[in-house]
Amino acid sequence: MNHSKTNYTTANLNKQLTAEFKAKTKDLPIKIDVVEDAAQKIENYFGDNKVDVIVFEHSFNDVLETMIADKHGIDTINTNWWDILPRLIQLTNEAYKDGAYEAIIKNDFLQMLKSLLNVLKPGAFIISHQFQYQGDLDLGIIPEIWSDLISTVRKWITGENIGTEMFFDGFEPN
């Protein structure tokens, strides 16, 4: 089957994870591009090209953990992600418990959403599907961080008037 008109673009800052992803997908019959930059800057890579859909599947957590790591001077680009993940989870939990979580991520998260909206075709969607890996739970991540994030982001989107949330039958809104 030829998928010559199908492109898949992903953004990933971590060099090791990017290399592993490229190795695992090298034989797929679609064009795959990896943007090695933050999702907040994605519009810099598309020019006038627009995309049909942007999907976050279990990646909001990585994006947000990276935002928190940046505030603590932790290199998430050139290090082994799995080695630093326990510390990232610890810092994320601490920010959540201390009430600093929203202040740390709000501006960068809104910048990311605005950048993503700029590369969408009219009528296209940003879709988020968040789930928690057992490994993250075993490392002590507070699961409510992610369900609370959804209601927090809803508040930001409404306050900034940067998009319209849609709901689909059968999907849990939180």
Query: Which residues of the chain are under the pLDDT cut of 50?
Result: 1
Q: What is the pLDDT of residues 38-51, one digit of tens each?
A: 878 888 888 777 88
Q: 119-154 b/e with 16+ CB inside 10 Å = b?
A: bbeeeeebebeeeeeeebeeeebeeebbeebbebbe
**Could you tell me if 47 and 19 are in contact, meaning their C-beta atoms sit under 8 angstroms apart?**
no
The pTM of the full predicted model, rounded to 2 decimals, is 0.80
Which pLDDT does position 94 carry in this prediction? Answer: 95
Which pLDDT does position 55 carry in this prediction? Answer: 82
Which pLDDT does position 24 carry in this prediction? Answer: 92
Q: DSSP 3-state assignment of 83?
A: helix
Q: What is the pLDDT of residues 62-83, one digit of tens each?
A: 888 888 999 999 999 999 999 9
Which pLDDT does position 74 carry in this prediction? Answer: 95
Which pLDDT does position 95 carry in this prediction? Answer: 93
